[in-house]
Structures are given as C-alpha cells and as structure tokens.
C-alpha cells in the first residue's frame, strides 16, 4: 500500500506538468465516492456522493489550487491573489504557505463563513474584507493581476480548471464508466466546466463510453445562469455561491449544451432541507452550498427527470465544519439546545428512553 500523492503526481500524464514544474501539494484529491442508499431509496436512482470536503483544506478548491500555485511558482511568482466567497481564499492561503509565497485574498465583508475566514488568517494570507460583493472582489483581483506583479489564482486561470477536472477522472475510475447524471453546485461555474472537461477527455481517450448529463444548481437568489442575466445583488444563505456574474458562464453554457444538461435554481429553504437529509440519512456533513446538489436531485427525481436505475453522482464541494452554524438551526428557525443532564446513570438512561436490561 502507498500514500496518495496528490493530483499533479497521480495524473501527471493528463496535466501540463513537466520536470520544470515544482509540485506544490498537500495530498489533495483521491476523495471518497460514497454510495448513498438513503438517496437511492428516495429517488430510485443509484446515487453516489463525491465528498470533496475530504480535501486538505476541506473543499474541492485544493485540486485546482495545487495546479495553479505550482504553475505560478514555476513561472516565478512570489505573490498570488484571488477573490473569494471563502473556500478559494482558504485554499490559496494554505498552498501559498506551503510554497513559501504570499497570498492576498479579497473577500466580501461579513459574507464568508467563520471557518473559512479563520483558515485564510491562520495560513497567513493577506486577507482584506472588501466593502462589496464577490463580483466586485473578482473585478479588483483581475485588475490587480493585470497591472501589478501578482498572479491570479481564481478559476479564470485555466490551471484551476485543469486541476479540478481530475475529480471526473476519479469518478469514472471508481464506477468503471462515467455516470448517467452529474449534479453539482454552481457559483462561478468553474467546477461545472472542469468536470465536463474531465469527462470529455475520458470519452476521447476511450476510457468511458458516455458523457454524463451535467445538472448544475444555483441558489434562487443568486441564479444568473438560470435567469439569463447578471444578478446585481445576489443573496442566499449558501454564501459560497453568492455570485451574480459567473466567470465561467460561457464554458458552462457549452457544457450544458453538449451534455444535454440543465441549470436549475433552488430556494434556501430547500437547500437547508437537503443539508439536513444528507447529514441525518447519509452521514455526510457539508456546507449549505454543497447540499444544493442533493436538493437538485430530489427536485429532479420528483419531477420524473431521473430514470429509475440511472447512475447519479452528486458532488458535495465543501465540508460542513467550515460553516457549522446551520446545523444548530431547526427547520422552523429555532436553535437546537442540547439537553443537560445530571451525573446520574439512571436519569440519563431514562432521558435516552432506554429500558432497564
């Protein structure tokens, strides 16, 4: 047995890496593809969950960041910059720290989850809270990269998409072919485009026989691709995908077209419902944005759009521990108060409803 070596080494033949590329890795990728019998029972499909929260910084961003930072260092960069709703900044700060370079990160003030903010800070990122939204942050990051000596590591950098396509390779390897459907959250639509690229390359090589239908979901208050226009003031509790002007819009439209895919919008209420189902019935804890994959599947299965027996993969993009506050909220908006008990076995047995043996 051996240790997983990270996506650059595991997929060296499928990425633009050479002997001149320093491999900046934290061992990302190789994440579990988990069967979800509870979701299969609810939908009639064969459902698998690709748990990207198992990456080193707790999100799928690490696959793209190992590539982006390695290529930046290869090109001589001493500093990188990104705009972020939280996960990209956490990942950029960690990989930059590992590489010994500086990461500057621009985040919307007061709008990123505490876990993600903490990660950027502890990894020594230069974190600035911008008094605007994510789209404003991305505009400024692009501006800075165009005019100052700093290397952009948002997914508009193709190295990010390249690294992220490896998740599709992993899925097809485990299943023996591409799935029939792939469901995932959409913010900038970089990951949606990356999976499509990975599946397309597998098909070209002949290691798979089909492209999955790519089903992407945006939060109802932040659904520019579904609406067909930029959303000026995007809103959703799924802060990771609170994005009104997706950077990879064109790539994503092409991927939908070619894969006979779909873009849908899901309300925050449905997102949180799916979040609880995934945690309570499958045992996987994700952040709200990730649960939109589950909500999308439940909606589409209800609508009769997912045939019985179809193989379905859901990508859940970020770990629940990044933004745990939602776990303590009940469906009716109350706050969970764990029961307090005295140091007394009989009393605790009674509270737990255990009968005497």
Residues that bind ligand F0G (CB under 6 A): 59, 61, 84-88, 155, 185-192, 240-241, 287, 289-290, 317-318
Say how many Å lie between the first and final Cα of the chain, rounded.
45
CB of 21 to ligand F0G, least distance (A): 23
- Order of strands, edge to edge, in the sheet holding 213-219? 33-35, 46-51, 311-316, 181-185, 213-219, 262-266
Is 187 within any annotated ligand binding site?
A: yes
CA distance 293 to 27: 25
Beta-sheet pairing, 46-51 with 311-316: parallel
Is 27 within any annotated ligand binding site?
A: no
Q: Cα–Cα distances in Å, from 261 out to 78, 203, 217?
A: 40, 17, 11
| CB closer to ligand F0G, 70 vs 315 | 315
Structure tokens at 98: 């590992």
Is 133 within any annotated ligand binding site?
A: no
| CB closer to ligand F0G, 48 vs 263 | 263
**Angle CA 65–70–72, to nearest 5:** 95
Is 88 within any annotated ligand binding site?
A: no
Among candidate residues 214, 217, 269, the one with its CA nearest the CA of residue 243:
217
| CB closer to ligand F0G, 46 vs 319 | 319
Is 188 within any annotated ligand binding site?
A: yes
| CB closer to ligand F0G, 133 vs 155 | 155
Element (H, E) at 106: strand 102-108
Q: Which segments of 16-101 are extended strands (E)?
A: 33-35, 46-51, 79-83
CB of 178 to ligand F0G, least distance (A): 20
Is 87 within any annotated ligand binding site?
A: yes
CB of 41 to ligand F0G, least distance (A): 26
Among candidate residues 151, 132, 126, the one with its CA nearest the CA of residue 141:
151
| CB closer to ligand F0G, 70 vs 193 | 193
| CB closer to ligand F0G, 200 vs 317 | 317
CB of 271 to ligand F0G, least distance (A): 11
- Residue 59 DSSP label: B
CB of 27 to ligand F0G, least distance (A): 19
CB of 218 to ligand F0G, least distance (A): 9
Give the residue numbers of the binding site.
87, 187-191, 317
Residue list for the binding site for pyridoxal 5'-phosphate: 87, 187-191, 317
């Amino acid at each position: 047995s051996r240790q997983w070596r990270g996506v650059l080494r595991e997929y060296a033949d499928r990425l633009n890496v050479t002997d001149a590329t320093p491999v900046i890795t934290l061992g990302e990728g190789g994440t579990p593809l988990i069967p979800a019998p509870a979701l299969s029972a609810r939908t009639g499909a064969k459902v698998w969950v690709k748990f990207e929260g198992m990456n080193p910084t707790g999100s799928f961003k690490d696959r793209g960041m190992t590539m982006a930072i390695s290529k930046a260092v290869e090109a001589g960069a001493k500093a990188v910059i990104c705009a972020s709703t939280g996960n990209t900044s956490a990942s950029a700060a960690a990989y930059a720290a590992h590489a010994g370079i500086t990461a500057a990160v621009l985040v919307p003030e007061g709008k990123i989850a505490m876990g993600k903010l903490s990660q950027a800070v502890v990894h020594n990122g230069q974190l600035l809270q911008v008094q605007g939204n994510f789209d404003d942050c991305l505009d400024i990051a692009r501006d800075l990269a165009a005019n100052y000596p700093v290397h952009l590591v948002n997914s508009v950098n193709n190295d990010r998409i390249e690294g992220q396509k490896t998740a599709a390779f992993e899925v097809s390897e485990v299943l023996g072919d591409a799935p029939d459907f792939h469901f995932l959250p959409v913010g900038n639509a970089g990951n949606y485009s990356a999976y499509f690229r990975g599946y397309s390359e597998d098909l070209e090589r002949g290691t798979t026989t089909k492209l999955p239908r790519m089903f992407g979901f945006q939060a109802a208050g932040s659904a520019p691709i579904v609406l067909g226009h930029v959303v000026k003031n995007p809103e959703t509790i799924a802060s990771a995908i609170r994005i009104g002007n997706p950077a990879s819009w064109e790539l994503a439209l092409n991927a939908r077209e070619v894969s006979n895919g779909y873009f849908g919008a899901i309300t925050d209420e449905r997102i949180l419902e799916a979040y609880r189902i995934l945690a309570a019935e499958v045992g996987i804890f994700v952040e709200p944005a990730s649960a939109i994959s589950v909500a999308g599947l439940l909606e589409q299965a209800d609508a009769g759009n997912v045939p019985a027996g179809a193989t379905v993969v859901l990508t859940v993009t970020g770990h629940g521990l990044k933004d745990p506050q939602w776990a303590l909220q009940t469906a009716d908006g109350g706050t969970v108060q764990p029961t307090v008990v005295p140091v007394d076995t009989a009393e605790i047995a009674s509270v737990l409803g255990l009968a005497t043996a």
